[in-house]
Amino acid sequence: MSKSLVLSIEQFKSVLSGLHAPEKVDADYLYDVYETAASGLNDMVENNVFGNIVGVNHVVLINYCLGEYLYSTALIQDEEGLKKFKENENIVSSMASVVADKYLSLSHLYYQERKLTNPYYPPISTMSLYVNFMLSILNRYEKNDPGVTLVTDLLIKSLTIAKCTLDNLVGGFETEALSNWRTLHECECTLVLLEKYKDPVIKRYLRHMNFGIVYKDVLPDKDKQHQIFEEMKEEMRGYNLKSKDIKKYIEYGWMYEIEEFKNDESYKLNFRDGLEKLAGLSKYASRYELSSEIIHSTPMLIYSNKEYYYFLALLSLYESFFRLEKVFITLFTERVNEEQKKGYAQMRNLYYAQLVNIYKIESSKFKAWQINKRKRSAK
């Protein structure tokens, strides 16, 4: 097995430049760390200490060196302190040892879950492409101004959770993916109602956001905080709610702005019998409960079936995505010019149909998997 050559100082500095290392980095000092780590790793490669490792990826190794150096020097406030740091001969060798350990462990001996998919598999890659496209459009507009951009901000957050769900599926973390979908489902239920009822409900939602801030006692103006808190308690009395209902009222009380919720006693101040039901998504109640069992570390989490949770998380994600895309279309068509609409329409005509077809295929595969599992269990 051939040894990977250690980069020259010129090559090393070229890599540092390509990594956009901060100017404050002492390249000569860092090169000593890199050279020490690389030499030790090369000896291990040459002697086949860790099995089939064919060479050192110097860019990755330099990234670890850079990370250790920046973290170690971050709290040094003056030149004298930095000088003492660099003059300590033990630091170079100890830092190089840490870098080599991290490189080997995280680049070659990295623990990985058994994976059922990969980033290039169409059910993952097509969804990733579409979500990324939507986020790139939404990020062009103003954000983080709740009074104006609440729906946009919530849609962006929902799509980033969708990305995280895809990442977990690719990483082999199926139960975690379903837990992410649980949060996404909560977001989409809220988004459905805000988009449907618009300004009156959005304003009430924002008011309850303020109630939450007041309840956490983080408003700088304490007189204002007390005033808002008293207003909240007065509102609660109007709905015959008690002090024990404060948290529920803060989280779900904004739905009183919706006549259907206010006039139907079957609705409750909770997710299942309130928000989810009002959003018309009660069919997901059992799936939501299942994801809750995972979050609360029941035996279901420890001994979960990877294939089952893979399909459940993937299909749930697709179903939520189709609803989010409808909200996106509404926002998109209100804000862009005809040329941009045409561009999105072309992309949608190509990939949305693919997503629908993929969903049908994966649904059929899930049903077949369930039938086969029942047959095996019956034997």
CA-based nearest residue to 137, from 287, 358, 331: 331
Instruction: Check residue 322 and give its pLDDT.
Output: 97
Instruction: Check residue 51 and give its pLDDT.
Output: 56
- Higher-pLDDT residue of 122 and 336 is 122
Mean pLDDT of the chain: 90
Contact yes or no for 69/33 (Cβ under 8 A) = yes
Q: What is the full DSSP assignment across 268-334?
A: -SSIIIIIIHHTT-GGGHHHHHHHHHHHTT-HHHHT--HHHHHHHHHHHHHHHHHHHHHHHHHHHHH
CA-based nearest residue to 136, from 120, 160, 117: 160
User: Across residues 236-246, what is the average pLDDT?
Assistant: 95
112-126, 222-236, 314-328, 347-361: lowest mean pLDDT where? 112-126
Tens digit of each residue's pLDDT (9 = 90 or more) over 44-59: 766 665 555 557 889 9
CA-based nearest residue to 38, from 54, 19, 60, 61: 61
Residue 2: pLDDT band by 50, 70, 90 thresholds?
A: very low
- CA 286 – CA 85 distance, rounded (Å): 58
pLDDT at 70 exceeding the cut of 90:
yes
126-130, 359-363, 375-379: lowest mean pLDDT where? 375-379
Instruction: Check residue 284 and give its pLDDT.
Output: 96
- CA 92 – CA 39 distance, rounded (Å): 13
CA-based nearest residue to 108, from 61, 66, 63, 67: 61
- CA 187 – CA 181 distance, rounded (Å): 10
- Higher-pLDDT residue of 53 and 359 is 359
Instruction: Check residue 77 and give its pLDDT.
Output: 83
- CA 333 – CA 315 distance, rounded (Å): 27
Residue 300: pLDDT band by 50, 70, 90 thresholds?
A: low
- CA 221 – CA 194 distance, rounded (Å): 29
Question: How many other CB atoms are there within 10 angstroms of residue 279's CB atom?
Answer: 20
Residue 309: pLDDT band by 50, 70, 90 thresholds?
A: very high
Residue 308: pLDDT band by 50, 70, 90 thresholds?
A: very high
Residue 283: pLDDT band by 50, 70, 90 thresholds?
A: very high
User: Across residues 5-34, what is the average pLDDT?
Assistant: 94
Could you give phi then psi for residue 171, rounded to 5 degrees?
-80, -5
State which H helix or E strand residue 133 sits in: helix 122-138
Q: What is the full DSSP assignment across 176-225?
A: HHHHHHHHHHHHHHHHHHHHHH-HHHHHHHHHHHHHHHHHTT--S-HHHH
Instruction: Check residue 43 and give its pLDDT.
Output: 77
Specify which of 44-48, 101-105, 191-195, 342-346 reaches the highest per-range mean pLDDT: 191-195
